[in-house]
């Protein structure tokens, strides 16, 4: 979570180059004061605007997780769920906090989900060892879906369907998917399409190495290594991605056989619906914001207009 004054402008321009008109800068598990500072910066960028992709708000990925499926998140900084602390996060963000990710088996999780939903904050479930039953209970409480489906959660087994099974079979659940071919096997991506094609939300899970050459980088304060575009921790685990949204769309078409229109919906209309902003974003209709991307026949970005203005790179 870089605190350089122009970092969000630079990231917004990078996002625009990959065909993104709107996005949610996402925090990681860190000391609470560091998270507060990041939420304040994102809120300020929301209010003043700036070049590149429009910032719609913030996405809090951590610190409300459990250690078993932590990924690259530092477990020593995980926190318990308290309503007062959640309210403080919302206040610090000046009500621009759009999504909170949490582990549904944590004490107080169901109460926290209900409270966040009352505050118009979406709740996604992940970095968790929850059972199928615990995950379904969280959906019943109002949780909206799964953080990067398959990654950082209990997998699908024929006697214990786990979080993945709950997400695939519950029609209320949005399923984030990192479609880079490394985080999720193409067959598992196809299974997601078979069960939930209209509920997939393509994400990048990109970290600071995205768009950069192979080498050493940091994530959550720890050194990670990128080789061949794949980022791993010292122990060999995956540590975020270097995926771009346009590449995710191409991968879905190539690896799962969905149509270009279906893959594009997964990166546009579906996330807009998940966030409740499909009245103004996510498709081309009179009265919606004029954010439009032009792709060539290979689904590579040629130009992008953001709120009616042609972006120059």
Residues with catalytic annotation? 205
Kindly state the tokens that stand for 242.
């270097």
80: left (phi over 0), alpha (psi -120 to 50) or beta: beta
The owner of tokens 């989900």 is: 113
Say if CB 231 and CB 216 are below 8 A apart.
Answer: no
Alpha-carbon distance of 74 to 95, in angstroms, equals 26
CA angle 296, 271, 9 (to 5 degrees): 75
Nearest alpha-carbon partner for 149 in 134, 165, 160, 161: 165
- Three-state secondary structure readout of 43-94: HHHHHHCCCCCEECCEEEECCCCCHHHCCCCCHHHCCCCCHHHHHHHHHHCC
Say if CB 134 and CB 104 are below 8 A apart.
Answer: yes
According to DSSP, the residues that pair with 176 across neighbouring strands are: 201
Alpha-carbon distance of 69 to 147, in angstroms, equals 12
According to DSSP, the residues that pair with 144 across neighbouring strands are: none
């Amino acid at each position: 979570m870089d605190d350089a004054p122009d970092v969000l402008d630079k990231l917004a321009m990078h996002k625009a180059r990959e065909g993104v008109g709107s996005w949610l800068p996402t925090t990681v598990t860190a000391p609470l004061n560091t998270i507060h500072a990041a939420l304040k910066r994102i809120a300020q960028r929301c209010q003043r605007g700036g070049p590149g992709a429009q910032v719609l708000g913030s996405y809090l990925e951590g610190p409300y997780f459990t250690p078993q499926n932590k990924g690259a998140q530092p477990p020593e900084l995980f926190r318990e769920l308290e309503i007062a602390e959640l309210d403080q996060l919302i206040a610090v963000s000046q009500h621009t906090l759009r999504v909170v990710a949490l582990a549904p088996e944590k004490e107080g999780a169901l109460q926290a989900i209900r409270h966040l939903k009352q505050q118009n904050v979406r709740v996604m479930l992940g970095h968790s060892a929850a059972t199928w039953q615990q995950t379904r209970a969280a959906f019943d409480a109002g949780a909206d879906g799964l953080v990067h489906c398959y990654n950082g959660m209990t997998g699908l087994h024929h006697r214990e369907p786990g979080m993945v099974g709950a997400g695939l079979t519950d029609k209320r659940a949005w399923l984030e998917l990192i479609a880079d071919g490394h985080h999720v096997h193409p067959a598992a991506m196809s299974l997601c399409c078979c069960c939930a094609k209209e509920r997939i939300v393509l994400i990048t899970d990109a970290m600071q190495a995205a768009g950069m050459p192979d080498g050493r980088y940091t994530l959550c304060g720890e050194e990670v290594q990128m080789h061949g575009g794949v980022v791993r921790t010292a122990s060999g685990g995956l540590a975020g991605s270097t995926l771009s949204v346009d590449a995710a769309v191409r991968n879905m078409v190539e690896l799962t056989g969905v149509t270009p229109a279906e893959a594009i919906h997964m990166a546009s209309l579906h996330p807009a619906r998940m966030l409740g902003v499909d009245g103004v974003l996510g498709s081309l209709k009179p009265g919606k914001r004029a954010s439009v991307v032009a792709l060539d026949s290979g689904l590579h970005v040629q130009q992008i207009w953001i709120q009616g203005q042609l972006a120059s790179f």
